[in-house]
Chains A and B, each alone.
Chain A
Amino acid sequence: MSLLEVAGLTTTFATERGEIAAVEEVNFSLEAGEVLGVVGESGSGKSVTALTVMGLLPRPPARIAAGSVRFAGQELTSLSDREMRRIRGPGIAMVFQEPMTSLNPVFTIGEQIIETIRAHERAGAAAGFARTVELLEKVGIPSAAERMSAYPHQLSGGQRQRVMLAIALACRPRLLIADEPTTALDVTIQAQILDLLLDLRDEFGMALIVITHNIGVIAETADRVLVMYAGRIVEEAPVAGIFDRPAHPYTRALLASAPALDAPLAAGHLPAIPGTLPDPRHRPPGCRFAPRCELAIPACSAALPPLTAVGPGHAASCIRLGA
C-alpha cells in the first residue's frame, strides 16, 4: 500500500460563469520516504492538487467532483473537518511559498512552534521548549535557544522559511508538501533549503512532495516527477527520465526554456514557449497543449491523448511520441 494514492481526482471551482475544473483526472501515488516533484506553469493545477489533498480548499466554491485521495489507506475526501484536522500536522504537513508572511507577526517564533506541538500532543511547557530548540537546531537556526524569543521581523527570509519548516515538522508528519518552498528566496539560500529538505526527509523518514515551476529544483530534489499542464498530468517519469528522455513536447519545451549555466545562450535570448496557458473556461478540445505545440497535427485536437507508457515508470499523454 502506498502512503498516498490519488486516483481520478477532479477539483472544480464554482464561478459566476459556471463550474470550471482546476484539476482533472489526476492519478499518482507516493511511497513512504519518496520525493515527488510536481512541475508546471502557474495555473497548471499544482497547488490546487496539493490543497485538495490537504483539504484546505474552501468548499464551496471548490468541490471534489470525482476521484479519491487515500492517505495510509484512509480516504480523505469524505472526512469531516474535525477528522481532517487530526490528519493535518502529524499526518500531512505543508510549507508555503511566502516565508515573509507565513509567520504571525505578533508572536515569537518559539511561541509559534510550541503552540503547534501542544495543539497535537500533551507536552508540558518545559518539554515543549526543549523540543522546539531541538527542531530549530535541526532546521539550521544558529543559537536556537536564543532565537526562540525572536519575532518574525527580526529574521531573514531564509531563516523564516527554516522556521516554517520547523513548524511543519513539529508533529513529525509522514508526508510534507512543500509548495514553491524556495521561490521567494535568494538562489544561494534556495540550494540550502532544498538540501535541508532532503536531510530532514532522511532524518524524519517522511515522504515529500515538492511543487515548483522551476525545473532545476526538481533536478536537485525529486525521485520522481509529475509534469502538469492545464489541470492535467502530461508526463510522469523518474527524475532521470525527465531530463534524459523527455517524452512530452511540453516537457521538452519546459526544459529548453530553463537557462543552462554552462552553455552560452545561442541567439542571445532565452527560448520561450509561445502562447499562454489556455483559459480554463475555454480549453481546447483534445490535447490542451496542441495550440502551443510545434508538433501538433489535426488529430491532436480530436481527442484527449491517453497516458502512454514510454519506459519503466515513464508515461506521457501525447499521440506524437514517436515524432
Chain B
Amino acid sequence: MPADEEGLWHRPSVLALRRLLHHRLFVSGLVLFAIIVVAAILAPVLAPINPDKIDMNATFLPPSLRHLFGTDNFGRSLFSRVMWGARLSMLIGGATVAINAVAGTVIGALAGYYRRIDNIVMRANDALMAFPPVLLAIAVTATLGPSIIDVIIALGVVYTPRTARIVRSSVIVLREMEYVQAAVAAGAGDWHVLRRHILPNALAPLIVQLSFLFAYAVLTEATLSFLGVGAVPPTPTWGNIMAEGREYLTTAPWIIAIPGAALMITVLGLNMLGDGLRDVLDPRLRIQQ
C-alpha cells in the first residue's frame, strides 16, 4: 500500500517517537541505559584484560590509569569484570524481558479475552504473585541449579504473572471497544480480533511495563548473585563482584562501589526511560489528538 508522506508522518508510532525525543526524562534515561548497553557490547574491545586473570602481585590496587576501576582480592581488573558483568546483566535482563513479552502477552491476552479461563489463569497468577519475587527466584534456582539459564528461567517465572496481569487488564478494556464490536459485526473471528484490534492497542502499556521489568530483572539477578544463588563465581556478575567485595568494604571500598554504581545507573536509567515512555504512551495519560 502506498503510504504517502503525510500518512507516514501521522503514523501513531512516528508521532510517539517525536514526542519521546522531546521528553527530557526519557532522553536522560536513554543515555544512561545506552552507556551500560555500549559497555556490554564493547566489553572485549574496551576491556582487553581477561576478567578472570588472577595477578597476586596486584591485589587491592585502588583505581588508577593502569587499572581504571582498581583490582580486587585476586588482582583481577575490576574494569574488565564490571564490563563483562554488564554483558551478563544485559543478557539476563533482555532474556527475561523477551520471555515476559511472549509468555505474559499470550497468557494475559487469553485470560482477558476468554472469560472462562480467566479465573483459573488469574488465580494461578495470584498464587505466584503472593511470593516475594526474590524468595520465589531463590526457590526456582535452588530447584534448577545456579546457572545463567536457570536464573533467566527463574526471573521469567517470577515476573511473567505481573506482565500477564498488565496485558489482561488492557485486553479487558479493549475487548469492549466499539471498533472490536464493529469488527465482530463485520464477521471477524477471535484470532483476527485479538491479533489486529486488541494486541496492537495493548502494546503501549506493555512496552512501559517491560522497560521497568528490565530494571527489576537486572536488580533481582544481582541480588541472587550477591546471595550466592545466581551464576557461580568466578563468573563476573555485578552481584558476585559485590558479594566478594563485601569483606573488604573498609579497606577496598571500590570493589563494591563500582559494580554498585553500574547497577544504580542501569536501574535509574531504565526507570527514567520507563517513566518517559509512560508519559507518552499510556492511554490514560495521553492527550486526545
Contact = CB atoms under 8 A, between A and B. Distances in A.
B1 A129 contact: yes
Interface stretch (B28-36, B64-72, B150-158, B175-183): B175-183
A154 interface: yes
A98 to B, nearest CB: 5
A164 interface: yes
Contact of A56 (B11, B181, B197, B200): B181
B188 interface: yes
Interface residues of A, number: 43
Interface of A: 54, 56, 82, 85-90, 93-96, 98, 101-108, 110-111, 114-116, 119-120, 125, 129, 146, 148-151, 153-154, 164, 167-168, 170-171
Given A104-B197, A115-B196, A154 B10 contact: yes
Contacts of B2: 149
Interface residues of B, number: 28
B48 interface: no
B201 A105 contact: yes
A151 B201 CA distance: 14
B196 A150 contact: no
A110 to B, nearest CB: 6
Interface in B145-196: 177-179, 181-189, 192, 196
12 contacts: A56-B184, A88-B184, A98-B178, A101-B179, A102-B181, A104-B196, A116-B187, A149-B2, A149-B3, A151-B7, A151-B10, A151-B12
A305 to B, nearest CB: 35
A153 B186 CA distance: 21
B223 to A, nearest CB: 38
A97 to B, nearest CB: 8
Contacts of A87: 187
Given A96-B181, A105-B201, A88 B186 contact: yes
B187 A149 contact: no
Nearest to B182: A102
Contacts of A154: 10
A101 B182 CA distance: 10
Contacts of B182: 94-96, 102-103, 164, 167
B196 A107 contact: yes
